[in-house]
Chains A and B, each alone.
Chain A
Amino acid sequence: MAIEVPVFHVLMLAGVLFLLGLAGVLVRRNIMFLLMSLEIMMNAAGLAFIAAGAVWGQPDGQIMFMFILALAAAEVAVALGIVLQISRRFDTLDIDAASDFNG
């Protein structure tokens, strides 16, 4: 007999995780932490998908989570490459140092 977790609680958790991630993105300047915050936000979205899939008894939610995982993997691959370039070029991991693209 599985324990029923109310869907509202799961969605609250997802929302809190998302906001934590967003706050991390906005506040942290270190790129590594920025990336980690992004991961948290993505996982929050994934959690919401799984909860929704469970509620409706459909596999779609889990499939979406697989997509998100794939996306996260790809993103990390590209992002780490960029991080490497930034750390080489600017000799720092501060994201605000890379603001040459201002108007």
Chain B
Amino acid sequence: MILAVVLLLLAAGVLAWASERFVGANAPRVVSVLAFAVGLAWAISEWLGGPAATGLYAAQHIEWIPRFGISVALSMDGLSLLMVALTMFLGIIAVVSSWDEIETGHGFFQFNILWVMAGVVGVFTAMDLFLFFFFWEVMLIPMYFLIAIWGHENKGYASMKFFLFTQISGLLMLLAILALVFVHFRSSGEITFSYEKLLGADVDPAIAMWLMLGFFAAFATKLPSVPVHTWLPDAHTQAPTAGSVILAGILLKTGAYGLIRIAVPLFPQASMDFSFWAMLLGVVSILYGGFMAFSQSDFKRLVAYSSIAHMGFILIGVYAFNEVGLQGAIVTMVAHGFSTAALFMMAGALQHRLHTREMSRMGGLWVHAPRMGVMTLFFVVASVGMPGLGNFVGEFLALLGAFGKNVPLAVAATVGIVVAAVYGLYLMQRSFQGTPNPDVAAMPDFGARDMSVMILMAGALVWVGVYPQPVLELAGATIATLGVLP
């Protein structure tokens, strides 16, 4: 079934592209939404159906290149299911939120969105490292097109930067994959790319450290962590709204997912030895990301930097090596997907109305658009880490876990919540509060469609914040099987 869903998204992409010519400009969007809706319905039905005895909700295994031990092995456990459901949900949101934004090339636009998401679903379910890398690249190219074609004023620079960072770090991962397969071949005599088989590979500790770093480089770049974060602000700022939503909501999570699923379980000892440095990177990301967010004057850029700070919580949570921290990282992945995606949608809506992202040209917008003001306030407050909303649960658990592992680093990371308050409220002040900017005579408020999307996202955050148990249970089953916790 999983392969069918991936193929469905790919086919829907082609169909959407073709439909623009044969049906009309509206058709691609409808195709896209329908494809994601089917995907979401499938994910939810698998969820409600419960896992099989193996703990998997769905699994598939087809030989691909038997000679090299490569197969199309896809399986979906709790964590994968969670991420796939989030992907489908945000897919719908991304398409609906940019309904009016794109003016040219509707068909190709939706094609790219659908193909990115197909790659993402593949990444979240692949159980074969060759396949994983394949899907990893599949997500990259359409995303490049989304930024390069439909981006804003500096799209060429941003898209190339995005491409180079991801590609170079991806090559490091490819090297690590090949080396791991080779090492495994030498000790067992079997060439295989299978995740399960490589889990048991007997790797010399010194080599394991290097291989782990290869994977870590790719995932930390995607996450992104300081110091390889600089592609993100540019890519986000220049991307169209749907691109930003997908980038922040989903693509960054593939980095976190890779850490949890691949880097740490394949090399538990090396990861454990590396944990101090990884957590340090996380702390630096939290503090530096927050600090940089404060220094920005561009609405979207500010939110992009705040993403980096939030991703830092994922790093410290994963490398805390305890259940609390790991759960915190996973909840942060989900909650950040909602809160930041919503803020990017807000940035897109503002740009659509004011033709600028500069906050010096906003100010006092609440007067014109109270609904937008309230929703921005809500998501800012969520990303500041207000208890009762999703981000708090994730960040608190991540910090709590980190505190159990390394107290000084956890203390430093906790300072990040003060920084979050500083930049979050500053964003609110400069855009929606303060003296109304005389240049903005009037601005249409959110209508029913935008509002319902926003309320959907807000409701999801409240749900994760007040009753995160379903998320925790899904993720908990996976964590138990990863076998990385001491």
A and B touch in the complex (CB under 8 A): no
